[in-house]
Amino acid sequence: MPNAFNFAASPFDCLSPDEQRLVRASVDIAYFPAGAVVLDVGVAPTHLFVIIKGYVTQTEGDEVLATYGPDDCFDGCGLMTGRVGSRFVAAEEVVAYQLAREAVNELIARNTTFGALLFSDLGQKLSALAQRADQHERQSLTMARVDQAFLRPAQMVDAGTDIVSVVRLFQAQRTTSVLVTGLTHVPGDGLGIFTNTSLQRAILDGRPLNQMTVGELASSPVVTMRPDDALGDAMALMLRRRVHRLVVVEDDGQVRGVLEALDLFSFLANHSHLITVQIEHAQDLPALAQAAAQITRLIAALYRGGTRIGLMARLVQQLNARLFERAWAMVAPADLVAHSCLFVMGSEGRGEQLLKTDQDNGLVLRDGYTAPPDLDAICQRFSGVLASFGYPECPGRIMVSNPDWRGTVSSFSQRVRQWLLQPEGDSLMQLAIFLDAHAVAGDAALLATVRERVMALATDNDAVLARFAAAIENFGGPAGWWSRLFGLGDEGHAISLKKTGIFPIVHGVRSLALARRVAATGTAERIAALVVDGVLDAAMGDELVQSLHFLMGLRLKAGLAEIDTGRTVTGTVDPERLSSLERDLLKEALAVVKRFKVLLHQRLKLDAL
């Protein structure tokens, strides 16, 4: 192989001269014409690819997750787990190095920094500088202790237990492995492990499963580590011993738990799978609270790793939805869960929340269902639980604990109809909040019915639409932005990105979406629908999405800095603390907001108010 391999590109820039020689000896060149499938879902990859020329897109269904270009590599995660989870297609003619799996495994075993960097999404790095910062962070992650990753509870069974009983335990405990005690052929503690792979062998054996004991097929001896060992060493041990699970044992021989490969790699990547697993396996509210506490740390890690804001927000929405669903199931009786729909609103409903914000939620009940007599107490407890998870109660009491945000499909539909057709007081604000509603638990069809009735009633009344959209002018005008950006404003005054940038985009788009009966709840999705409908041109649509995500990212950066210094998260930024690039981008975003407001004045006749 030629000596042109770029060892200055991450993750290969951390290799020693000997490790570089291993790469040169193990790499080959592959060619893929435009449109060729490089890797498909479900295949067992044999190589790590490093692009020399061209671009490869990574997709799941119709969604493009990432695009890889020269010096980017893929699919490290698939290589380690033994199965590709996405489709990789050549977007144009591609020439790439292909590094054999055996060489990759040896590099990971030798160099923990290389292993950690391999699991980052290089297609989403912001710059070479961000790559180096990310490398430093991930190197520190490999030095974290084993017990800092998620350890699955160890399920123990006696060697004489029949296979059917073990399968029932698999299902009841949501696990794929059990530790087997009492193996007489194993010296020492007589401990083995039975996994879903062992179950496959049992089925192929042909004997009735209830007549086979788990001890007959348990693998032994188990591979162990101590809780205070380094995660980088755990990863190297897994690869060296070719196992997917390590049993974590205290010095006194007590089993602490089981570390699975997927949990380890997730910890080194971005923790998202780790949090999902914690939520799924939580048996009580304190366990859920521990998972909730990880979400902000996840966001910080994703942000430092250069993850796109839109992707981060969708990930947070999914994690929060599952967290709220599990919490609701622990607080509410099963009958209430089945005959209701718990929904969230605001930035959470739109899928645009990053750091935890005030609760905005409600509950739709099935028509004809008799709610439990203690419904109010149940809802009060749920709001309290979310507050204990770090989601503050809404100052305006837009929560399930407020009876105004609970009701049957019919009563909710009537309430929303009144907000829309007979607006008075705060009704248009309430309508705006409800238009972002997103189901998280129970029967989502109940919320969908109410939303469909709202869209069917969506009015073309210019006066109502103008009043609805006029909220974009409720906060300070552009002049304040410019003066503060150029240092001409009042000293020490920070800028509220939500009031002066994010809200005008979000609510302006929401207003146009209401006028055109767009059912989507996310701002980016609404913009896409409005572009297709001809309400917005493609250039304006793209500018709005980019500006929104930039403002969200700037707000997130400021919020994380406030958290790191122990201050209250305000959602504001101090222009003097922005880099020159950030100030320039903020000016551009402001210009987009200003142009959008002009368009709204024209389309919705705001000047007639």
User: In this structure, what CATH number is given to the domain that contains residue 283?
Assistant: 3.30.460.10
Most confident of 35-44, 74-83, 447-456, 581-590: 35-44
The predicted-structure confidence for 164-209, as pLDDT tens digits, reads as follows: 999 999 988 888 899 999 888 777 778 999 998 899 999 998 899 9
Instruction: Tell me if 324 is assigned to some domain.
Output: yes
- Over residues 360-373, mean pLDDT: 94
Rounded to 5°, the CA angle 96-97-100 comes to 135
Q: Is the pLDDT of residue 238 over 90?
A: no
The tally of domains found in the chain comes to 4
> Using CB atoms within 10 A of its CB, is residue 563 exposed (0-12), middle (13-18) or buried (19+)?
middle
Of 221, 249, 269, the position where a domain reaches its end is 269
**Torsion, Cα of 102, 47, 134, 270 (10° steps):** -100
Indicate if 175 and 107 belong to the same structural domain: no
Looking up residue 167, the CATH number of its domain turns out to be 3.10.580.10
Q: What is the pLDDT of residue 129?
A: 34
Which of the listed ranges 354-363, 374-383, 478-487 does the model predict with the highest average pLDDT?
374-383
Same-domain status, 172 and 114: no
State which H helix or E strand residue 253 sits in. Answer: none
**Pair 113, 189 in one domain:** no
Same-domain status, 350 and 419: yes
Whether 280 and 264 share a structural domain: no
Assess whether 233 and 327 both reside in one domain.
Answer: no
Predicted confidence band of residue 139 (pLDDT cuts 50, 70, 90): very low
pTM higher than 0.85: no
Of 426, 441, 457, which one is at a domain's C-terminal end?
A: 457
262, 305: one domain: no
Q: Which of 8-22, 196-210, 301-315 is most confident?
A: 196-210
> For residue 142, which of 280, 267, 7, 11 has the smallest C-alpha distance?
267
Q: How far is the C-alpha of 204 from the C-alpha of 533, rounded, in Å? A: 57
| Whether residues 338 and 232 fall in one domain | no
Q: Is the same domain home to 423 and 277?
A: yes
What is the sign of the dihedral through the CA atoms of 584, 590, 593 and 597? Answer: negative
Domain annotation covers residue 125: no
> Is residue 431 assigned to a domain?
yes
Tell me if 142 is assigned to some domain.
Answer: no
pLDDT in tens, 243-275: 889 999 998 889 999 998 877 866 765 556 667
Asked whether 235 and 258 are in contact (CB, 8 A), the reply is no
Pick 481 or 161 by higher pLDDT: 161
Let me know whether 429 and 506 are in one domain.
no
147-161, 222-236, 367-381, 504-518: the lowest-pLDDT one: 222-236
| Domain that includes residue 97, residue range | 12-118
Do residues 412 and 478 both lie within one domain?
Answer: no
Q: What is the mean pLDDT of the chain?
A: 83
Check if the beta carbon of residue 145 is closer than 8 Å to that of residue 225: no
Cβ contact 442:344 at 8 Å: no
Q: Is residue 362 part of a domain?
A: yes
- Is there a single domain that holds both residue 27 and residue 79? yes
